[in-house]
Structure 1
């Protein structure tokens, strides 16, 4: 096999693995990795470097490796970011930029000076927000790279929320994405296969999970983001149970946050979206569990009295009554109550709930 074909093969294997978030642990100890590393070192020594070859080799390593050493990352990250900032407008550029950003998104924990990446990744994200020049996977990958860095540097929170307006922009992205996927056609033609579009939606879950750990605001932008998540949930209903499960989990994460207004979740249709999900004729364990968990968190929040503010207390009681009526109308009020008591019993007796396997779909009677 020629070197060109070998690199092409490795990049495509790595692309599939990264898209599905499959890690190859120990690749960095293989002879193949060491050979690629030597080729990179030899190319870096040349006065006239083959930049395209270096990009290809870096992508091979990042897409196939679980973790590279910080010295190598400090060289390859600026190189790939520079490549991702390409301004040429031709047929191949979007695909090449997508591969570069996907490779960077595969870097998990990496401590580096912000000067090596921050200005470039901000420019890439802003360019897309203004000109829509990235593929959906490339845009998701750019955010994944930045969010992975925020796990190490918490002070990136202000940049993510205030400068780049993550909640506002990603809320719109999710809504548009959910609308553009032909779910019915994909379901019929793919017969349950993971299409690229669905895998990108699954990848957004991991970015959103990190963001929910950073954000402590309930404003118009956050409301828009939660609305975008609800859009995906409604679109995936009866079409993709794994996406439904993950996105209900995110809504449960939102429901348990003290800064999130329960009446706000009700107003933008989040409660109705989860109710619609559990009214389906077929449910799997994951969707059932996450739906129960969502309403458990809602019920816990609605128990919180706000004696210091009469208006807030009035809103709480009104919201509690409206949600109770919705659950009572569908016959789920006793289900949620019994589930709440069951979970309380497990906590009191210090039983690990995750270790217990139950057919919890029997908690719901489908109407």
Structure 2
């Protein structure tokens, strides 16, 4: 693929071998700017297995200094993770094997160990790696990165270093097995210290939570710490609200995942963490209502111009509605029911939005009919059903659903699944 970004990157990469270290650094900085502007297709066309193997060769031949190759590779990994690009090119390359050996060699040193180098190598390895991280590498990288993230210095440089360490940690996926004894004290300290002193960047704080909630996916014993001691729902709601103020929701989102839009990307990352949290949490927490209300605010703001955020908000509401730890009353007070009925009653113009909302409403209807949920507060349930029925009538929902179920428009398979039983989409007295 030949675009301005790919041409610039390839031209500068070819020139690296004939430069001194300072000139190389300037070229790498320019290459990193080109990477910032790449979309998914551009990124994947540039960072192929062949390119990573070429990087391995220039390191072997000492044509590129280690400092500059780290500067380049850390930025490659950073953009890959932040923009959610997926590629196995690094894993399949000789560079991957070289980085693993370098990490292992540096870690084995008893004297004169270069801690900064080890941190850099661990960061670029974890950010570039795409599969489940081997336990042998987690054993080395996890304590190294946690130590780097615990730095409480207030300088701008220290903040950037902490952000990068936490960003790498956030790429340790929820399927990677990590013993809680190896991280919980440290990550809780990082989160609590920020809550008191506000020392982390917005991205760094999100990354700390992402790492911890990823562990929650397989270790439900973390629930009390996450929900009650560290107050995930409260913190996530506050961060989403602050980030939302920095986004011009009336301006159309740049397509293709081009230039990094930091606040937008961090919002999307928070929403992914919230989905994981609601999918795993079974503990009732009064702070959940505030989080749902905040998600609804982002949902309404993103509906026209930020489709990716909009869909992630809907998925969060799906996960919350399926979570029996949340009460159905929470969804009325947060505006979720109003919004869903407005969307599904408007038109056939956006089938994706309509079916996403229908799926949520089917879950809500099932819960309103569920006798196990209503015994404790029958009067409150009846009042909620009355309000929902009034809103359904106001929006013309019944006529719309009947017409929608008979619609012959060709749609995705999952839409047909939604309308198999029309009674699933109604609330009855």
2: distance between equivalents of 1:87 and 1:219?
31
| Greater CA drift, 268-277 or 58-67 | 268-277
* C-alpha contact 2:78 2:127 (8 A) present in aligned 1: yes
The answer on 1:30 being equivalent to 2:93 is yes
Give the greater-gyration-radius structure (CA).
2
TM-score, structure 2 as length reference = 0.73
1: distance between equivalents of 2:213 and 2:116?
27
The Cα shift of 1:202 comes to: 1.5
Show the counterpart of 1:88. 153
* C-alpha contact 1:27 1:33 (8 A) present in aligned 2: yes
Show the counterpart of 2:112. 48
**Pair 269,282 (structure 1): closer, same or farther in 2 beyond 3 Å:** same
2:196 to 119, 130, 135: 130
**Pair 277,337 (structure 1): closer, same or farther in 2 beyond 3 Å:** closer
Show the counterpart of 2:296. 230
1:152 to 205, 218, 234: 218
Q: Note the aligned Cα RMSD (angstroms).
A: 3.0
2: distance between equivalents of 1:124 and 1:286?
40
What are the residue-to-residue correspondences of 1:67-146 with 2, within 5 Å?
67-108=132-173, 109-146=175-212
1: distance between equivalents of 2:126 and 2:373?
54
2:311 to 228, 231, 245: 245
* C-alpha contact 2:152 2:199 (8 A) present in aligned 1: no
1:3 to 41, 62, 66: 66
The Cα shift of 1:62 comes to: 0.3
* C-alpha contact 2:153 2:159 (8 A) present in aligned 1: no
* C-alpha contact 1:168 1:224 (8 A) present in aligned 2: yes
2:387 to 305, 322, 328: 322
TM-score, structure 1 as length reference = 0.84
Task: Extract unaligned runs of 5+ from structure 1.
Answer: 343-351, 359-367
2: distance between equivalents of 1:327 and 1:2?
66
What are the residue-to-residue correspondences of 1:48-67 with 2, within 5 Å?
48-66=112-130, 67=132
2: distance between equivalents of 1:32 and 1:240?
37
1:207 to 248, 254, 273: 273
2: distance between equivalents of 1:184 and 1:338?
32
**Pair 163,124 (structure 1): closer, same or farther in 2 beyond 3 Å:** same
The Cα shift of 1:213 comes to: 2.1
Count of aligned pairs: 347
The Cα shift of 1:149 comes to: 1.5
